[in-house]
Every structure is written in C-alpha cells, then in structure tokens.
Structure 1
Amino acid sequence: MYCKIVVISVIVLVAFLAIGEGKSLKGMGVDQRCRCIETESRRIGKHIETVEIFPPDSHCKDKEIIATLKETKQEICLDPNAPWVKKVIEKIIDNSKSS
C-alpha cells in the first residue's frame, strides 16, 4: 500500500513539473512548433516593413521568414526558396554587415 502511494506521488510530481516547464517555455516566447504553416511566394516586397528570420532548430526543421506589412501590421510567412525573398535576405545581410 505504501509503495502505491509513493509511486502515485512521484507520477503527480513529474506531471506538475512537466506542465510547469511547458508554461515557462511559452512565457519566454519559445514556441514548440513551426510558426509558418503556409508561405507566400508572390512579390510583396514594397509592402514589407520588417523581416524576421528564424533558422531551423529543435522545434522546427524549416528556416522561417516572417514579414510584417507596413499598412496592416499583418505578419506573413515568406517562401525562403522564392528568388525575390532570397534577394531581400541578401540585402538585409549586406546592410547589417555595413552597419
């Protein structure tokens, strides 16, 4: 009987720790899955205000490029393989090197 209580207590403790760890990662802004489900490949370059690049990691195997639009502030996932997106990324990298 005592053994069952110890086992149940350990299981409950591990469950609380796992839930707490998941919440703390989310609170730190760490998403545990890919941000982009669909990507945009048509040219929208002149509508872009900012671009964020997220390299592949343990939560998502894909490189993700998220653009925020000027007028609507909407975030759109860009296709990293689209030629115009590659040019935008090269320009951002060149500008950051010269700064």
Structure 2
Amino acid sequence: MRSAAFILLVCLLSVHVKGLVISSRGRCHCMDAGVKFIPPKQIEKIEVYSPSQSCPHMEIIATLKENGEQKCLNPESKFAKNFIKNAQKQKRSLG
C-alpha cells in the first residue's frame, strides 16, 4: 500500500513540475519539452535560446507577468512557431 501511495505522489509531483525552468550552468534550462501554450496576456517577456554545445535543443522561456515565474514553451508547438515567425517579421520590418 505504501508503494502505491509513493508512486501516486511521484506522478503528482512530475505533473506539477512539467514545463518549469531549472537553472544550471552549461546545460539546458528546460527539464522537458515544455508547455504548448501560455495565454499571451500572461507573458511579460520571452527569451529564445538557440542550440549550442552545452544544450543541443532550442529553448523558449516565457516569464509570466503575475509572479515572474518562468515556464518553458515547447518549440514544436503551434503557438511557439507562430510567435517565432511573428518576431522575425517584426525584426525585418524594424531593421
């Protein structure tokens, strides 16, 4: 019975930390693929990190307005792809 309770606790904790940012130097910031969508009104800023020697994955980290929490966005999600596309258009029109 204790092992079932432990497994349930581990599952609940793993669901809670999905999409959270971890800070470690020389490694990827995101623990997993990240969330697929964050309402744009909740986003204060977005940082995009290209693949590098220390992290082979593109990472998109959104900082939330309400509490400053950082969440990883899944770069393969439709929301993230549209965001990158729109940011590139804006950059071209300004430069």
* TM above 0.5: yes
Moved >2 Å (runs of 4+): 42-46
**If the length of structure 1 is used for normalisation, what is the TM-score?**
0.64
**If the length of structure 2 is used for normalisation, what is the TM-score?**
0.66
Structure 1 residue 56 corresponds to structure 2 residue 51 = yes
User: What does 1:1-12 align with in structure 2 at a 5 Å threshold?
Assistant: none
SS of residue matched to 1:59: coil
Once superposed, what is the RMSD of the aligned Cα atoms? 1.6
SS of residue matched to 2:75: coil
Unaligned runs of 5+ in 2: 1-23
| Counterpart among 55, 61, 65 of residue 66 in structure 1 | 61
Q: Percent identity?
A: 33
Aligned to 2:31: 37
Unaligned runs of 5+ in 1: 1-29
Give the whole-Å Cα distance in 2 for the aligned partners of 1:83 and 1:77.
14
Structure whose residues are more often helix by fraction: 1
Aligned pair count reads 70
